[in-house]
Amino acid sequence: MSALTESPAWGELQQHRHEIDGLKLRDLFKQDAGRANKLSVSACGLTFDYSRQRVTQRTLELLTNLACGRKVEQGIAAMFAGKTINPTEDRAALHVALRNFSDQGAIDWPLQAQGEPVMAAVTETLERMSRFCQSVHAGKWRGYSERQITDVVNIGIGGSDLGPRLVCQVLQAQSQPLVRAHFVSNVDPLALDRVLAGVRPESTLFIVTSKTFTTAETMANAWAARAWLLQAGGDEASIQQHFVAVSTNAAATQDFGIPSQNLFGFWDWVGGRYSLWSSVGLSIALAFGMDQFRALLAGAHAMDRHFQEAPFLENLPVLMGLIGVWNVNFLNMTTQAVIPYSEALNQLPAYLQQLEMESNGKSVDREGAAIDYATSPVVWGGVGTNAQHAFFQQLHQGTQAQPVDFILPLVKADDGRQRQLVANCLAQAEALMRGKNADEVRAELLSRGMTGTQLESAIPHRVFPGNRPSSCLFMEELTPATLGALLALYEHKVYVQGMIWNICSFDQWGVELGKQLASQVQAQLDSTPHMKPADLLAILRKDT
Ligand code: F6P
C-alpha cells in the first residue's frame, strides 16, 4: 500500500463509493431541484457545470479533505514561488510567469524560478516578438526577392506545435489572418510537401520551433524546408530572411544557420506542453497580431489568479482535478472524453491529450516508488455533433462508462444552426445522465403501436443505462481570453491531479526509449534500400 491509498481520506472515499453505489443521477436531480445551480461555478468567462457527475455534497467534502491531506494548497504556492516542482529535471515549472501581466500590461508579481527573477526576460522577449511582428506586418522584413511575407510555416512537434495550431485555428474562425499560418509536425514527407505546395518560397517565413532543437522529426523537416528554399532560388544568405527559431538551444540554432538576432528564446522552466504562452506562440502573434496573443495571455493569467485565490469548492481547476480523481480512482473509469461543440475547437482533444497524458501518464511516484493506483486516464475525443454520429453509441450503451467533458462556447450570430448545436450538446449530457429504462421504452413503443413479442424483444436494445457522468464547460464567447482561461484551467487541473497522485507532472521520461530505438532502427533501414515487410520483421527480430 502507498501513503496515498493508506491515507484516511482515501479510505473514507472508498467507503463512500460503496455507500453511493445505488444512487442514480436522475434521482439526485429529482430530490434537489437546485442541484444544477449548486454544482456549478463560474470564473474567468467559463461556467463549469459538474451537476451530472456522480458526486454528492459528501463526495465533495471527502475529496477536498483528500486535497488538504495531499497539501494541494502548498503545491499551488510552490508553483507560483518558482520552487523545483519538476524534481527529476531539477527545474521549476513556471509557465504562469509567461502570462503574469495585469490588465494594463504591467508585471503582476515579481516571479522567480528557483530564486532567479524571470520577469525582465519574459517582458523583453514579448517586446522582441512584438517588434518582429510589426516589421513583418509593415513589410519591412521581406523575403529574398523583396517580396512581403504572406505565409508563416511553424515547424515543430508536440508542445511546439499543438498549442499554436489550436489557437490559430480558433482565431482563424473569427478573423482574417495578417499572414497565413501553416503547421508542419509529422516527419511523414506528405506533411511538409502539402504545405509547401501552397506557398511561394519568396514570401514564406519558416519558424523552427523546438525547445531542444534536437527533436528528430522537427530537424528533419527544418532541413527539408531549408533545402526547398535553396532549390527554389534562395541562397545561403537568404536563410536568415526566411528562417527564425524558437528555442532554448542557441548553439544548435546557430549550427543550423539561424543567426542569433533571429532566435526567440525561452527557458528550461517552461515545459514543452506548457510553452504555448512563450515565444512558441510566435506563429499566433504573426498571424493574428500581438494584441490577440496578449489577450490569450491575459485570459490565462485570470485563471492563474483564480487558481491561486479561490477556495477549493469554488476553484475550477481544483474541482475539475478532484472530480477526475474520483472518476479514475473510485469509479474506475479509465478514459476521459473531451467533446467541444465548436468546429473552431476541433484541435482541443489533441492538445489536451498531450497535456494530460504526457504530464500524468506515470506509474512511479515522486520518490520513484511503484504506485498502486491509477493515474492519467486516456484522453480522447472529437467535435460535436460529428462525434454523436461516430462513437457516442459506445458512450451511451457500451459496457464501459466513461466520463465526458462537453465544451460549449456560445456564439452570438445564429441562423438556427448554432441553437441546434447547443441543443445537441445539452441533450447528450442529459441523455448520458438520465438514460431510459425498460418501462419508459415500453411505454414509448406501445404508444407507437408495437405490441407482443415484437415489443418485448425490442426493449433491451433501446434501454439506456444512464448515470453516466459528464461535465459541461460553457463559455459565454470563444475569445482569445476565454480560450486562454480554458487552456490554463486544464493545465492547473493536471497539476492538481499530479499532486494528489504524488507524481512528477512536468517530466516525460516515457518518450525517450522510442526515440533511442528509432535512431538505431533508422541506422539499419539506411542499409535496406527496398523496404519490404519481411525486411522490417527481420530488423525487429534483431537485438537493437
Ligand atoms: O518527445 C516529447 C517532447 O519532448 C514533448 O514533451 C515536446 O513538447 C516535444 O517532444 C517537442 O520537443 P521540442 O520542443 O524540444 O522539439
Atom number of ligand 1 nearest to Cα 215: 16
**In whole angstroms, what is the distance from residue 186 CA to residue 188 CA?**
5
215 CA distance to ligand 1 centroid (A)?
A: 7
Alpha carbon distance, N-terminus to C-terminus of the chain: 37
Q: Please tell me if the CB atom of residue 157 comes closer than 6 angstroms to any atom of ligand 1.
A: yes
Nearest Cα residue to atom 4 of ligand 1? 272
Q: Please tell me if the CB atom of residue 216 comes closer than 6 angstroms to any atom of ligand 1.
A: no
Say what the pLDDT of residue 532 is.
85
pLDDT tens readout for residues 354-387: 999 999 999 999 999 999 999 999 999 999 999 9
The CB density around residue 162, as the number of other CB atoms within 10 Å, is 24
**What residues in the chain have per-residue pLDDT under 70?**
543-544
Q: Please tell me if the CB atom of residue 315 comes closer than 6 angstroms to any atom of ligand 1.
A: no
209 CA distance to ligand 1 centroid (A)?
A: 10
CB 428 within 8 A of CB 389: no
Atom number of ligand 1 nearest to Cα 209: 14
492 CA distance to ligand 1 centroid (A)?
A: 20
The per-residue b/e assignment along 165-197, b for 16 or more CB within 10 angstroms, e otherwise, is bbbbbbbeeeeebbbbbbbbbebeeebbeebbe
Residue among 152, 158, 212 nearest 183 (CA): 152
Ligand 1 pocket, mutate which of 160, 283, 352, 512 (most atoms under 8 A from CB)? 160
pTM higher than the cut 0.95? yes
Q: What is the number of alpha carbons within 13 Å of residue 407 lying toward its C-beta?
A: 26
Say what the pLDDT of residue 105 is.
85
**In whole angstroms, what is the distance from residue 38 CA to residue 319 CA?**
13
CB 252 within 8 A of CB 209: no
For residue 308, count CB atoms less than 10 angstroms from its CB and return exposed for 0-12, middle for 13-18, buried for 19 or more.
middle
Residue 426's SS3 state is helix
For residue 506, count CB atoms less than 10 angstroms from its CB and return exposed for 0-12, middle for 13-18, buried for 19 or more.
buried
Provide the angle, in degrees to the nearest 10, between the axes of the packed helices 480-501 and 57-69.
70
For every residue of 456-510, DSSP letters joined together read: HHHHHHH-B-----EEEEEESS--HHHHHHHHHHHHHHHHHHHHHHT--TT--GG
Nearest Cα residue to atom 10 of ligand 1? 158
Our measurement of the distance from residue 449's CA atom to the centroid of its chain's CA atoms, rounded to an integer in Å, reads 49
| Residue with grid cell 511503484, as numbered in its chain | 370
Preceding peptide of 125 cis, ω within 30°: no
* ∠ CA 345-405-429, rounded to 5°: 110
Active site residues: 358, 389, 515
Residue 114's SS3 state is coil
286 CA distance to ligand 1 centroid (A)?
A: 22
Ligand 1 pocket, mutate which of 86, 88, 89, 157 (most atoms under 8 A from CB)? 157
Helix H or strand E segment including 121: helix 119-137
14 CA distance to ligand 1 centroid (A)?
A: 37
397 CA distance to ligand 1 centroid (A)?
A: 38
Say what the pLDDT of residue 544 is.
47
Q: Please tell me if the CB atom of residue 390 comes closer than 6 angstroms to any atom of ligand 1.
A: no
Our measurement of the distance from residue 348's CA atom to the centroid of its chain's CA atoms, rounded to an integer in Å, reads 6
Atom number of ligand 1 nearest to Cα 512: 1
Q: Please tell me if the CB atom of residue 446 comes closer than 6 angstroms to any atom of ligand 1.
A: no
**In whole angstroms, what is the distance from residue 293 CA to residue 210 CA?**
19
Say what the pLDDT of residue 377 is.
98
For every residue of 148-211, DSSP letters joined together read: BP-EEEEE--GGGTHHHHHHHHHHHTTS--SSEEEEE--SSHHHHHHHHTTS-GGGEEEEEE-S
**In whole angstroms, what is the distance from residue 204 CA to residue 224 CA?**
14
CB 455 within 8 A of CB 391: no
Q: Please tell me if the CB atom of residue 185 comes closer than 6 angstroms to any atom of ligand 1.
A: no
* ∠ CA 153-154-155, rounded to 5°: 110
Q: Please tell me if the CB atom of residue 421 comes closer than 6 angstroms to any atom of ligand 1.
A: no
| Three cell numbers, residue 427 | 441533450
| Three cell numbers, residue 104 | 494594463
The CB density around residue 111, as the number of other CB atoms within 10 Å, is 21
| Three cell numbers, residue 249 | 538551444
Q: Please tell me if the CB atom of residue 511 comes closer than 6 angstroms to any atom of ligand 1.
A: yes
**In whole angstroms, what is the distance from residue 340 CA to residue 535 CA?**
43
Q: Please tell me if the CB atom of residue 159 comes closer than 6 angstroms to any atom of ligand 1.
A: yes
Strands 204-209 and 243-247, how do they pair?
parallel
Q: Please tell me if the CB atom of residue 164 comes closer than 6 angstroms to any atom of ligand 1.
A: no
